[in-house]
Structures are given as structure tokens and as C-alpha cells.
Amino acid sequence: MARDTTDLTPIRSLDELVDHIRAGEKPVSEFRLGTEHEKFGYRLADLSPVPYEGEDGIRRLLEELQTRTGWEPIVDDGRIIGLAGGSGEGAISLEPGGQFELSGAPLETLHETVSETEGHLNHVKAIAGELGLGFLGLGASPLWTLDQTPVMPKSRYSIMKRYMPKVGTRGLDMMFRTATIQVNLDFSDERDMARKMRLGLKLQALASALFANSPFTEGKPNGLLSWRSGVWLDTDNQRSGLLPFAFEAGFGYRDYVDWALDVPMYFVMRDGRYHDATHVTFRQMLDGALKGEIADPEPNMGDWANHLSTVFPDVRLKRFLEMRGADGGLLPDIIALPAFWCGLLYDAQALDEAEAITADWSFEEVDRLRSAVPRLGLHAPFRNGTLLDVARRILPLAQDGLERRDRRDAQGRSEAIYLQPLAARVASGRTAADDLLARFEGEWNGSLEALFADQSY
């Protein structure tokens, strides 16, 4: 999750909330992509999760990384909870169960994303190796129960932990036992945002299937290919999932703002402290609902920016768009996810063609597809065929889009090379989860110890 924001500028009108998002508009020449990925730490000796404290704990890892990189520590109540690079360098943060996240810098090409991610992983692996730790690239922790999973000392997480069981059955699983890959992408104006948001929502189920990689829970198969995607079906449906109004003609910034205003808040920050605000929506806060409860109850732009970071639709709008549907994975998947979306959304022809394919897809159809993907993956039914049929039409558009972008590496290769893992899955009709399950039942003889060796960075 992103670092929380402090901006004391008072909010005087709803138009300012719209303008906050509109300020993210960029000319196409300045479009960038920012890749985020989360990973599970574990002790090599016994495959147990890594706590925050201790000589081999997350805190020690962050301190050693701070020394090695020179990045500034992010501190919450006296504890280091992340690292921030210099201007445009990205950040390292902790998810609730200790999932270790790199929020990458906004970069121009996928080749730069490879270099950034490899550099980060090299730092982490070098320090982790000295501490007797490893890191696992999956969409869900495969062994540990909720009770066995450590809790990171971030103040906002204690608020979320209390709130989640009130609004869904799977919120704690989402917080503590899932990991993802995301990409943040730019838009040029309101129409461009709406097109990308709409297409992103329609195709997020396809991304979830292509990156399905969480078939194990608590030491055994869980019956799903993407357990993580299944968790999101009942986490907190007021703030997550699909957005039906985004499917409608004329969708724009104000529609998203109106929706977010009526989503319950998590917290407000005052003087560096977090105050529980889960009992009010942002609109109610604007109307004075927190007067008498906290000092300085008037909402400010920092409150709004933080609130936008705590809503979780399948595509999230801030000053950029976040594609949120993929399970965590190893380096090839970390690059394939931004490659997929960059090829579709950053090339005008690919965007036009993908829109044409999905133009008549209804919200109800996409919602059914979203519900089927966790269990069936690429073989989820869609109209007269399956999602695999859709993938066979969509993936070539992304490949062609990346070829037309014509960003070459030192060997003269286009960014389309990073779609190879997805091309292999579409060709075989098998997800990464299908392959892991086959190995579990075959060469691994029903043991997950080999999984840790095979799926670690």
C-alpha cells in the first residue's frame, strides 16, 4: 500500500476533489508505468513466516536495506515500516502480514522495469541470505494459518483488522495472506481515463486468469487456481470489485468521486496519529461528522488522497490508474503484468481494437466471469466459449501494441518479449496454478517443501 499523505489544504468544494484527480493528466509523451509487487518472506530453516522483530525479522531487513540503498526510512510510531527513494525512485513498504512490497518508480520502458526489479531483488536476496530468509513469489501464502501469520506494526492496519470482519468474510485473508502484482498507468484526459478504466474493468478477469498462481492454502490444495481472486469476492464489496457506473456512456471523474465519497473511510491522520473513521463516509466527514471526535475535524486534501488509496475496485483511479487483478509471481510475471496492460492501453490501435472486441460486454456478464475465474481460470465460460478464447484474441493485441511502441533494449528486442509467459499459457490453456498442482500431485509427492525451493526469488 502507498505511503500515507499529509496535505493540510482545506477542501472548499467537490470540484476540488475532481480537480485532484484531473491533475494527473499527462501528454502521451510523458506516459510512464510504475510496477508494484509483493512477496512472502520465510525462514529457510523451517519455512515459518518472518516476524517484524528479531535478529532475522522484517525490521532488521529494512534497516539493512536502508544502509545498502541509502533510501530514507518511513517511520510509524517510532518503528521503521518502509523506505522511500529519492525523487522518482519508488518505495518499499510492508503489507499487513509482512508481505514485502516494492512500489516501483514511474519508468518509460519495460526494459527499465526489469533493471529496477532485478536490482531490488538482488539487494533483498543478498541481505535475506545473510539472515537465513527466503522470499516466495505466489498469490497467497501456501502454508500459514491466519493465527500463524505475523502482524506488522502499522497503525492503519490495526484499524483495518478491526473493521474487515464487519464488512465481509475474507478481509483478513486479503490483508494477511495474499500478494499481488500491479501496474500504474497514466491517462491524457478524462475521455482517455474513462476508456482505459472501462477496458481495464472488463479485462481484469482475464488478467486474474492469466496470472492465477495461488492454488495452495494451509499446506494443501484449496480447490481454486486463484485463491487470492476468490478472497476479493467477499472482502468489502462497498469499496472493491467492479464499478457498474464505469460501464455507462459518459462516465468521468465526477462519477468516481461521487462513488468514493460514499465509501466508508478507514482513518484520518492528525499530528502523525491515526484516528479510526470507519463509522463515517468521506461525504459525511465533509458535512461535519467528525466534529467533537477529533481535533481539527475539517477534511483536507491529504485526507482525500489517503481515502482514494483505501478504496479497492478492480481498477483504482487516483492521479493514475492501477490495474489490480493479478496474483503475485516470480520475475517473469512481475514484468509480464505491466507488459500486458502497457501493450493494450498505451498503443492507440490496440486500445481501439480491444474496445471493439469488448464493446457489447455487459456489467452482468463481466461480473459472472469475475466470479468464475478463481476456480476455472482460463476455462471460465464466457458466451459461447471460454475466457481462453478471449485471451487468444486479446493477447496478440498487446503484443502488437508493444511492437508498435518500439522501445528496444540493448539487444534490439522490443518489449513484446516480456509477454512470453502469457503466450505459453494461452497456447497450452494452462495457468501457473495448473502446473503447480500437477507437480504437487506428481514429482513433489504431496509436499510443499519443494514449492518453496521452486517458487522463490
Dist. CA 339–CA 417, nearest whole Å: 9
Residue 2 has pLDDT above 60, yes or no: no
Q: Tell me: pLDDT of 307 over 90.
A: yes
Residues 185 and 207: their CA atoms lie apart, in Å, by 15
7 in any annotated domain: no
Q: Is the pLDDT of residue 117 over 80?
A: yes
Q: Do residues 200 and 337 make contact, with C-beta atoms less than 8 angstroms apart?
A: no
Over residues 213-224, the mean pLDDT reads 98
pLDDT in tens, 363-398: 999 999 999 999 999 999 999 999 999 999 999 999
With a cut of 60, say whether residue 155 has pLDDT above it: yes
Does a structural domain hold residue 357?
yes
**Is residue 328 in some structural domain?**
yes
3-class DSSP assignment, residue 257: helix
Mean pLDDT, range 138-153, rounded to an integer: 98
Mean pLDDT over 5-20 rounds to 94
Residue 3 lies in a domain: no
Q: Is the pLDDT of residue 113 over 90?
A: yes
Domain range spanning residue 152? 14-454
Q: Which residues pair with 49 in a beta bridge?
A: 42
Whether 293 maps to a domain, the answer reads yes
Run of H or E residues at 101: strand 100-103
Note whether residue 4 is domain-resident: no
- Give the burial string for 82-119 (b: 16+ CB within 10 Å, else e): bbbbeeebbbbbbbbbbbbbbbbbbbebbbbbbebbee
- Measured in residues, the chain has a length of 457
Q: What is the CATH number of the domain that holds 319?
A: 3.30.590.20
Q: What is Dmax (Cα atoms) for the chain?
A: 63
* Cα–Cα nearest to 97, from 168, 39, 44, 47: 39
Of 457, 312, 313, the C-alpha closest to 1 is 312
Q: Is 2 contained in some domain? A: no
What is residue 313's predicted lDDT score, i.e. its pLDDT? 98
Burial of 195 (0-12, 13-18, 19+ CB in 10 A): middle
List pLDDT tens digits, range 259-270.
999 999 999 999
353 Cβ neighbours under 8 A, 6+ residues apart: 397
The pLDDT > 70 percentage for the chain reads 99
H/E stretch holding 18 reads helix 14-22
The mean pLDDT value for 166-186 works out to 98
* Residue 74 covered by a domain: yes
- Residue labelled with grid coordinates 514429482: 443
Task: Tell me the three state secondary structure of residue 134.
Answer: strand
CB 37 within 8 A of CB 184: no
The stretch 273-296 carries a mean pLDDT of 97
Task: Give per-residue pLDDT as tens, 242-257.
Answer: 999 999 999 999 999 9
Instruction: State the pLDDT at residue 67.
Output: 95
Neighbouring C-beta atoms of residue 223, cutoff 10 Å: 11
Give the confidence band of 430 by pLDDT, cuts at 50, 70, 90: very high
Q: State yes or no: pLDDT of 164 exceeds 90.
A: yes
Q: Please tell me the distance from the alpha carbon of residue 96 to that of residue 158, in angstroms, as a whole number.
A: 9
Residue-level pLDDT at 1:
46
Angle at which helix 420-428 crosses helix 387-405, to 10 degrees, equals 150
Three state DSSP letters for 169-193: CCHHHHHHHECEEEEEECCCCHHHH
- How many domains does the chain fold into? 1
| Average model confidence (pLDDT) across the chain | 97
Cell triple for 87? 525523487
pLDDT of residue 4: 73
